[in-house]
Amino acid sequence: MTTASPATPHPMLAVAPEVREALAAGRPVVALESTIISHGMPYPSNVAMAREVEQIVRDHGAVPATIAILDGRPTVGLSDDQLELFGADGGIRKVSVRDLPHVVATGVHGATTVASTMRIAALAGIRVFVTGGLGGVHQGAETSMDVSADLTELARTEVAVISAGVKSILDIGRTLEVLETLGVPVVGYGTDEFPSFFSRSSGLPVPMRVDTPEQVAALMRASFGLGLGSGISIANPVPEADEMPRADIDAVIERALADCAERGITGKDITPYLLGRLVELSDGRSLNTNLALVRNNAVVGTAIAVAYAAGA
């Protein structure tokens, strides 16, 4: 995929002045998604998290660029009032790449997923994107064929995505197999084991490891410079003090999945339902871990963006 130059974001985008100036000057910018605000956490924790993460990015030397669709316009960089809107309005549509044309054409608001945030970030010239966890292959996908568009977007959009791994509710082993087939580099940041979102371990190895922001930046330059056309998945484990042990979270996930099946919930509604149900079943522990891993990803992702901009 050919992306716009950092100095000239795609003309269909609305880019906040602060973000546009940083891109034009070659300063570090970190993309952030809006689905995690609208569909990933309850209000008002979601808005507080969004504001805190933006501040973490600023405090560590980069410009935050939360991405969303506002009145049909892909928007890169939200105001404080717009963050509040996306957190408080329960009717905002969840928008993946396939949904972008319809949302733009109909002029409505939309919260961008990992996949659509990646695409819009690339159109703006942003190379680093921080999120909580990746989508992937759902449990039972051998019959449902439910596989997140996050994986195919990673295969075709040159953005480094910093996450705490694949969401624990998914089939992590099959997700890693699909990423391998798609040619997406999956890199453990300071770990030899692929993290599983709420937990630091999954029992599965990462194909490669890096330990510093500078090493990630070098990897990005090599991948993008070779014209491979894919993004990079940087798997950054949740801090040890904040993780939920696998035995604890696995039991909760099993019950949440059973509830989901009983209610007949399918498609893009599965992940928001399961994440909300996990908060209930874990007495809030999963929400606290989710918040901790997002903060940690913001710190690491900003350091990577700073290192990448320094050598670009």
Catalytic residues: 33, 167
Helix (H) or strand (E) holding 103: helix 100-106
Reading the block at residue 44, the tokens are 């008002």
CA distance 241 to 247: 16
Nearest-CA neighbor of 162 among 42, 8, 306, 10? 306
What percent of the chain is helix, strand and coil (3-state, nearest 5)? 50, 15, 35
Q: Which residues contact 79 (CB under 8 A, 6 or more apart)?
A: 16
- The label of the residue with tokens 């999954």 reads 202
CA distance 109 to 2: 26
CA distance 157 to 141: 24
Q: 209 - beta bridge partners?
A: 188
Q: 196 - beta bridge partners?
A: 165, 199
Q: Contact, 58 vs 67, CB < 8 A? A: no
Q: What one-letter code names the amino acid at 3? A: T
- The label of the residue with tokens 């999963």 reads 286
CA distance 50 to 290: 12
Q: Kindly report the number of other CB atoms within 10 A of residue 4's CB atom.
A: 15
